[in-house]
């Protein structure tokens, strides 16, 4: 629609609703700031009364301020200290404004919310068998540093994927307790590299309680690299090169304090893989 005044019919009379600008807002990547004094169509709520006439009311000042900030989220320096309720509504407004669909704005915007609200933004992320998404959206994924659960099964990580640096970073490692890296062609060398920060610098995945390394070509040697994980309680090594005979059952108990389960644990079932948090609304990480 061309720019111009908007008219509504009320009780048989045609009336103009101020001078509402109908042009769409500029992309979030634009360097020009939105003029907060210019009224827009989204500043009004349009409804019909019982007689079928169109009526309008202006949104509250709070809603207008929220809308303005969402339009200009790429100019915000920090949200630390703002109440969670405000952050939740602002995130929803940013999603509606498609701020996270813009690859120039999305990483900064997600980091802005993640720094302020942590696990409320995203506490669990499932990227199972979604290698293209992991590759294309690595910058956004690395902004989530408060994850408790991360499923990267079948993401073609190999032994030296860049995501490993994020997994062992101090910020993420302090919160991550469930990690699935099965089906990734991960060898003993890859597992050695992944656990090196814990073994050498006492930082990294030391809070990990559940680890899935199934369907990777790892051998008995790899188990020794896992002895540095002090809180590890559950380990899935099904489909690997490990030959879990009676001797190795004793070794696993001696090295890791783990007992072999005679049946698969429900905790490693894909049905338990979920993405949870405000960012579940963001289409780039939906399962």
Note the pLDDT of residue 266: 77
Flag whether pLDDT at 29 surpasses 50: no
* Domains of the chain with CATH codes: 7-101 (no CATH), 122-285 (3.80.10.10)
Q: pLDDT class for 8, splitting at 50, 70, 90?
A: low
Flag whether pLDDT at 177 surpasses 90: yes
Calculate what percentage of the chain has a pLDDT beyond 90: 35
Segment 99-113 mean pLDDT = 88
Q: pLDDT class for 171, splitting at 50, 70, 90?
A: confident
Buried b (16+ CB within 10 A) or exposed e, 184-201: bebbbebbbbbbebbbee
**Structure tokens that stand for 2 in this block:** 């061309």
Segment 150-161 mean pLDDT = 93
3-state secondary structure of 56: strand
Greatest CA span in the chain, whole angstroms?
A: 90
**Mean pLDDT computed over every residue of the chain:** 81
219-253 pLDDT, tens digit each: 888 888 999 999 999 999 888 888 777 677 787 88
Q: pTM for this one?
A: 0.75
Flag whether pLDDT at 113 surpasses 80: yes
Flag whether pLDDT at 274 surpasses 90: no
**In terms of pLDDT, which residue wins out, 94 or 14?**
94
Note the pLDDT of residue 222: 86
Segment 76-104 mean pLDDT = 90
* DSSP letters for 96-145: HTTGGG-TTTHHHHHHHHHHHHGGGT-SEEE-TT-HHHHHHTHHHHTT--
Q: Are strands 7-10 and 13-16 parallel, antiparallel or unpaired?
A: antiparallel
Q: How far is residue 19 CA from its own chain's centroid?
A: 40
Flag whether pLDDT at 213 surpasses 90: yes
Give Cα separations from 215 to 154, 236, 271 (angstroms). Answer: 9, 9, 18
Segment 85-114 mean pLDDT = 90
Q: pLDDT class for 154, splitting at 50, 70, 90?
A: very high
Note the pLDDT of residue 11: 61
Note the pLDDT of residue 28: 45
Segment 61-78 mean pLDDT = 88
Q: What is the DSSP code (8-state) at residue 27?
A: P
Note the pLDDT of residue 6: 59
- In sequence order, the 6+-apart residues with CB closer than 8 A to the CB of 61 are none
Rounded-to-integer distance, Cα 214 and Cα 236, Å: 6
């Amino acid at each position: 629609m061309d720019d111009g005044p908007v008219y509504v019919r009320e009780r048989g009379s045609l009336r103009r609703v101020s001078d509402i600008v109908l042009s769409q807002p500029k992309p979030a990547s634009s360097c020009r700031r939105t003029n907060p004094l210019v009224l827009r169509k989204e500043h009004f709520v349009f409804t019909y009364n019982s007689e079928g006439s169109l009526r309008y009311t202006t949104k509250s000042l709070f809603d207008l301020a929220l809308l303005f900030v969402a339009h200009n989220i790429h100019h915000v320096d920090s949200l630390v200290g703002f109440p969670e309720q405000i952050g939740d509504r602002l995130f929803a407004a940013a999603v509606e404004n498609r701020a996270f669909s813009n690859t120039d704005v999305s990483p900064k915007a997600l980091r802005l919310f993640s720094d302020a609200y942590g696990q409320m933004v995203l506490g669990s992320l499932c990227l199972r068998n979604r290698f293209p998404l992991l590759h294309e959206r690595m910058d956004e994924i690395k902004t989530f540093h408060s994850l408790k659960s991360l499923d990267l099964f079948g993401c073609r990580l190999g032994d030296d994927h860049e995501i490993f640096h994020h997994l062992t970073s101090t910020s993420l490692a302090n919160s991550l307790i469930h990690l699935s890296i099965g089906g990734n062609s991960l060898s003993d060398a890859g597992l050695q590299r992944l656990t090196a920060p814990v073994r050498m610098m006492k930082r990294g995945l030391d809070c990990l309680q559940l680890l899935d390394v199934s369907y990777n070509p790892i051998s008995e040697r790899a188990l020794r690299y896992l002895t540095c994980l002090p809180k590890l309680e559950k380990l899935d090594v099904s489909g690997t090169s490990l030959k879990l005979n009676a001797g190795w059952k004793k070794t696993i108990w001696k090295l890791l304090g783990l007992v072999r389960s005679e049946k698969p644990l429900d905790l490693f079932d894909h049905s338990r893989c979920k993405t949870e948090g405000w960012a579940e609304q963001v289409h780039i990480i939906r399962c």
